[in-house]
Amino acid sequence: MDEIIVSYKFGRTGGAFVRTLMCASAFALAMTMAGTAKAGDVTIDDLANDAGSTNNVLMNGLGWNAQRFSPLTEISTKTVDRLVPAWAMSFGGEKMRGQETQPLVEDGVMYVTGSYSRMFAIDTKTGARLWEYDARLPEGLLTCCDVINRGAALFGDKVYFMTLDAKVVALNKKTGKVVWSKQIDDPKAGHTATAAPLIVPSKAFGPLIVTGVSGSEFGIVGRVEARKVDDGELVWTRPTIEGNVGSLNGQPSTMTGKQNETWPGDLWKTGGGAPWLGGTYDPDTKLIFMGVGNPGPWNSYVRPGDNKWGCSRIAIDPETGEIKWGFQTTPHDGWDYDGTNEVVSFDLNGTKAAATADRNGFFYVLNRENGNFISAFPFVEQINWAKGIDKAGRPIYDPAHRPGDPAKSADGKKGDMIWAVPAFLGGKNWMPMAYSPDTKLFYIPSNEWGMDLWNEPITYKKGAAYLGAGFTIKPIFADHIGSLKALDPSTGKIVWQVNNKAPLWGGVLTTAGGLVFYGTPEGYLKALDAKTGQELWSFNTGSGIVGSPITWEQDGEQYVSVVSGWGGAVPLWGGEVAKSFQGIPQGAMTWTFKLLKKVASN
């Protein structure tokens, strides 16, 4: 039996329930007997309109542009103080690791993933579980940054998500039954998958499900894949590291870049570059935007050159899988400044622009039609690995803050230690920012920290860590690490910032009600005034929040939801920083809020 499906049948009171466990082979019959109600199918038009939708949240990022902006206004700066819990649902048997997911909502059903490759369907009126799917994960998986999952995708009558053992799975959204499951690559070599998939249109193949892969820390070669939504048939693949050849319709297609142009010897064969965060899509240019992770190994002295396309943003044609443009934020990366952070489409003074807040501490604005550099601004303080960004968008390196060659050290085993800002966990890591077309500001969950860093000798071995570096993360300021910042993309000005003692590790939501929602590791979901940063409301969920909030309207009322559950990379990799926050309780809960309508008179 590959998986366990748990269905829940509720009586009229909505209270007691009967829990039934059954294998997949018996599940279809049981669900046929249970009823025939069917939700509407999600279409490409529905996805295209998701950013302006109020009744549903069909995509990770609340639309292809990933602005995470809702046009809803019932919950506003004037009413948010009346926000109260509507319901909460515990993940129950979920092992308590980082819950980095963003829920989806369609026709009164919420679809949310749990960290151990689980999927839940929830009644949005009551918080009752409708079904859950539990992937059967193998032992000994090679994971970099905790056991997490960042969400799902909806299309047709299916809900899709990726499992930690590098599979993409399509479930019937009504029953939770597996429709198809495809293995992306070998988990024993270090391939894993944690991102929310992306659904995009294509003329040649119809709707496609686009996925990336994780595993740069184990020397895998990253790639982007597109499959048919109905059966998972592979359409094309695009490696992210130069020298590797893609595929189209089951045949070799073209090489990424030119072999050995920016990679020496055979290092491109184990070059990392995993697009582990997933992508966004721009219907104006008909391009998929993907971020590319760090090159392997971390030790940059063994791989001279720019090492394309590590630490980059690339634009891919969904019809062919060909790269149409690329922009490298950190050429010849020596600090683990992955370039995977999301690409957000927006209009800048009439220009079709795209913005990305990089781990290297700089906020970039690009022309999304051709990838041309427009501007870059620091969004965290005390950056020292680069003195700035030149007119072409290339960093001006400071050699004093690049790790040294261990072969030239006194013992030949450990290079000279340097101090680099930001730390390798980044000025901003995976946690998605938001953009408001009303205020024309980006809201960036950022962190202020640096690291002691040194290089060590390294050789590649399949299934083993491929780093060649050592590090210790340290805070820069005594009173805070996390900082939510409102940034003007036309000037780079930080309009306001709200500091937080612990690192910020969850996503941001902004609304036409003039609000910004975000969570903290201390467990608070907070609402701020989008113009001023003033805190207007907060609620403690009982565990650290590293998920991304959403909002939608149902039966004339606006709801806000977020998943709570501390974990992720900070407790694993944060060193001295992580030790400062060991008291944060773990958990796994979906919290949903709405406005209190009536207050009892005295």
DSSP string, 410-477: SSSSSPPPEEESS-TT-SS-SSPPEEETTTTEEEEEEE-EEEEEEE------TTS----EEEEEEESS
Q: Out of 134, 165, 185, 336, pick the active-site residue.
A: 336
* Contact (CB, 8 A) for 182 and 170: no
Cβ atoms within 10 A of the Cβ of 70, count? 30
103 φ, ψ (degrees, to nearest 5) = -70, 160
Cβ atoms within 10 A of the Cβ of 254, count? 14
Angle at 187 between CA 164 and CA 426, to 5 degrees: 60
Q: Which residues pair with 442 in a beta bridge?
A: 435, 487
Cα(562)–Cα(506) distance, integer angstroms: 10
Pairing of strands 535-540, 550-554: unpaired
DSSP secondary structure code for residue 222 in this structure: P
Pairing of strands 287-292, 158-163: unpaired
- Judged by DSSP in three states, 52 sits in helix
Give the tokens for residue 244.
Answer: 């590797």
Cα(592)–Cα(105) distance, integer angstroms: 12
Residue 268's alpha-carbon distances to 221, 294, 310, 465, 470, in angstroms, are 8, 13, 10, 17, 23
* Contact (CB, 8 A) for 473 and 573: yes
DSSP secondary structure code for residue 81 in this structure: G
Give the tokens for residue 416.
Answer: 């000279």
Residue 35's alpha-carbon distances to 15, 38, 175, 349, in angstroms, are 20, 9, 10, 53
Cα(575)–Cα(256) distance, integer angstroms: 37
- Judged by DSSP in three states, 495 sits in strand
Cα(443)–Cα(432) distance, integer angstroms: 9
Give the residue from 269, 316, 327, 261 showing the smallest Cα distance to 297. 269
Active site residue 336: yes
- C-alpha torsion sign, points 572, 578, 583, 585: negative
Task: List, by residue number, the catalytic residues.
Answer: 336
